[in-house]
Amino acid sequence: MIKVRVAPSPTGYLHVGNARAALVNYLFARSQNGHFLLRLDDTDTARGRPEYEQAIYDDLTWLGLSWDSSAKQSDRFARYAEVAEQLKATGRLYPCFENAEELAAKRAALEKRKLPPIYDRAALALTPAQIETALQNGHRPHWRFKLSPGEATWIDLILGAKRVKFATVSDPVLIREDNTPLYTFTSVVDDVDHQITHVIRGEDHVTNTAVQLDIFAALTNALPKFAHLPLISGGEGEKLSKRVGSASLRGMRKDGIEPAAITAYLARLGTSKDPAPIPLAELIKTFNIADFGRSSPRFDPHQLLALNRKFLHHLPYDSVKDRLPEAATEAFWNAIRGNLDLLTEARQWWDVVHNDISTPDQPDQKIFLEAALQTLPPEPWGAETWKTWTQTLAQATGAKGRALYHPLRLALTGEESGPEMAALLPLIGREKTAERLRRTAR
């Protein structure tokens, strides 16, 4: 049975990078009848916050992802202590007493000699008596994992054959002076205990994987497989574009982006397949982790908006009405939905049909707009009104094509382009139409 996990830390809101890791794990599990675990890496009690934890559940749910089980690292401190004791007993976890200044001095000395800043394992040479003395003197150790000689190798499901020499990395600190276990360690203990079969995460974890493979080997014979997603450039933290103001899921939601557009976009980002407006349930059917390439994709807000536009175009009124201006009707939604990049733009069209808007003066269209006012049909108005009106107006003035339609659109909406006028006109109504024509023709 395939079992994967996504393991966000509740230290901030989920951004597109987290969303992608969650989505790819989800699709991987769902496409193979596997199990998808949501694990909270919440051992950092200084930076973690309960509201971020709740936001993780909310944002993933909003995105459309469901998980089969969840776990919190903060529930498992006793288990981490137990495994740490095992590693101490076999000598793989050893106590170190260097303080931050001493470690910094060691690093500076190595850097001066143009050597990589790798821990010198001085603490491994401490005798039991020296350790005892240090403890007696009130020094509290941090604990490092003694890496094996040699190297870590694995066949990455995305990056291919990987090899990291252990001599190029420091023995990792797994337990701090204050006894808190660190991510490098807790993640492996969890992956072993939860019987995770595939670890799918960002490429920034490749060095962790090398080190963690050695820790896995000290604890179990059943190693998971690994897949590292090349990091998205332009999608972490910085402002994405003028219209998509934030790379956090929260921000995108507020900006009026549909969750389906995000999942459709992220599922294909970094693959050779073009982005397409495919719903999540369909993405499962065609998902293949081998589609991901080895190079870093660029987050392109325009592509995301183009997908969003396609999804909005087909959304029924019922699924958006709570997010439309109050009193907005189904006819209004059907009139505008084909013209929105973002749902938030609905507000602007609501003003066009329902409120006062400013429209530019058109002094050179005075005669034409007066004729438009004269030929305005009586109410009731419906789907045919625009056609009837503009035909009459064309006959009266001889105007056709752009000369006929453009001054009217500009006078009635204040915009150069937008939804079909035939649909907008009855929503604007005769009174506002007449008033705007009069004002513009003045």
The region of 4-12, 174-182, 240-248, 328-336 touching ligand GLU under the rule CB under 6 A is: 4-12
Q: Does residue 8 interact with ligand GLU by CB under 6 A?
A: yes
Work out how close the CB of 49 gets to ligand GLU at its nearest, in angstroms, rounded to a whole number: 15
Query: Closest CB to ligand GLU among 12 and 414?
Result: 12
The region of 3-11, 215-223, 401-409, 410-418 touching ligand GLU under the rule CB under 6 A is: 3-11
Find the binding residues for ligand GLU in span 204-263 (CB under 6 A): 205
In 58-191, DSSP assigns E strands to 69-72, 93-96, 142-145, 151-156, 160-165, 173-175
Query: Closest CB to ligand GLU among 70 and 388?
Result: 70
Q: Does residue 9 interact with ligand GLU by CB under 6 A?
A: yes
Q: Binder to ligand GLU among 35, 201, 268, 309 (CB under 6 A)?
A: 201
Contact at 8 Å (CB) between 4 and 34? Answer: yes
Work out how close the CB of 7 gets to ligand GLU at its nearest, in angstroms, rounded to a whole number: 4
Q: Does residue 186 interact with ligand GLU by CB under 6 A?
A: no
Work out how close the CB of 77 gets to ligand GLU at its nearest, in angstroms, rounded to a whole number: 16
Work out how close the CB of 265 gets to ligand GLU at its nearest, in angstroms, rounded to a whole number: 21
Query: Closest CB to ligand GLU among 198 and 205?
Result: 205
Q: Does residue 53 interact with ligand GLU by CB under 6 A?
A: no
Q: In whole angstroms, give the CA distance from residue 33 to residue 41.
A: 25
Residue appearing with tokens 């006793």: 78
Work out how close the CB of 10 gets to ligand GLU at its nearest, in angstroms, rounded to a whole number: 10
Sign of the dihedral through C-alpha 284, 26, 307, 298: negative
The region of 1-9, 109-117, 172-180, 346-354 touching ligand GLU under the rule CB under 6 A is: 1-9
Angle between helices 346-354 and 421-441 (to 10 degrees): 60
Q: How far is CA 191 from CA 92, 195, 358, 389, in A?
A: 19, 6, 60, 70
Q: Does residue 171 interact with ligand GLU by CB under 6 A?
A: no
Q: Binder to ligand GLU among 7, 24, 188, 210 (CB under 6 A)?
A: 7
Sign of the dihedral through C-alpha 241, 245, 250, 256: negative
How many residues make contact with ligand GLU (CB under 6 A)? 7
The CA-based angle 423-427-432, given to 5 degrees, is: 125
Work out how close the CB of 5 gets to ligand GLU at its nearest, in angstroms, rounded to a whole number: 7
* Residue 370 buriedness (CB in 10 A; 0-12 / 13-18 / 19+): middle
| Lookup: tokens for 391 | 């035909």
Work out how close the CB of 191 gets to ligand GLU at its nearest, in angstroms, rounded to a whole number: 8
Query: Closest CB to ligand GLU among 30 and 228?
Result: 228
Transcribe 322-387 into DSSP letters.
GGSPTT--HHHHHHHGGG-SSGGGHHHHHHHHHS-------GGGHHHHHHHHHTPPPSP--TTHHH
Query: Closest CB to ligand GLU among 212 and 413?
Result: 212
Q: Does residue 187 interact with ligand GLU by CB under 6 A?
A: yes
Query: Closest CB to ligand GLU among 8 and 418?
Result: 8
Give which of 253, 235, 229, 297 is closest to 16, Cα–Cα: 235
Q: Binder to ligand GLU among 14, 15, 36, 41 (CB under 6 A)?
A: 41
* 63: CB partners within 8 A, 6+ apart: 19, 22, 23, 249, 259, 262, 263
Query: Closest CB to ligand GLU among 36 and 386?
Result: 36
> C-alpha 113: how far from its chain's center?
42
Query: Closest CB to ligand GLU among 7 and 152?
Result: 7
Q: How far is CA 145 from CA 38, 94, 232, 277, 280, in A?
A: 27, 7, 31, 47, 42
Query: Which residues sit at the interface with ligand GLU, rule CB under 6 A?
Result: 7-9, 41, 187, 201, 205
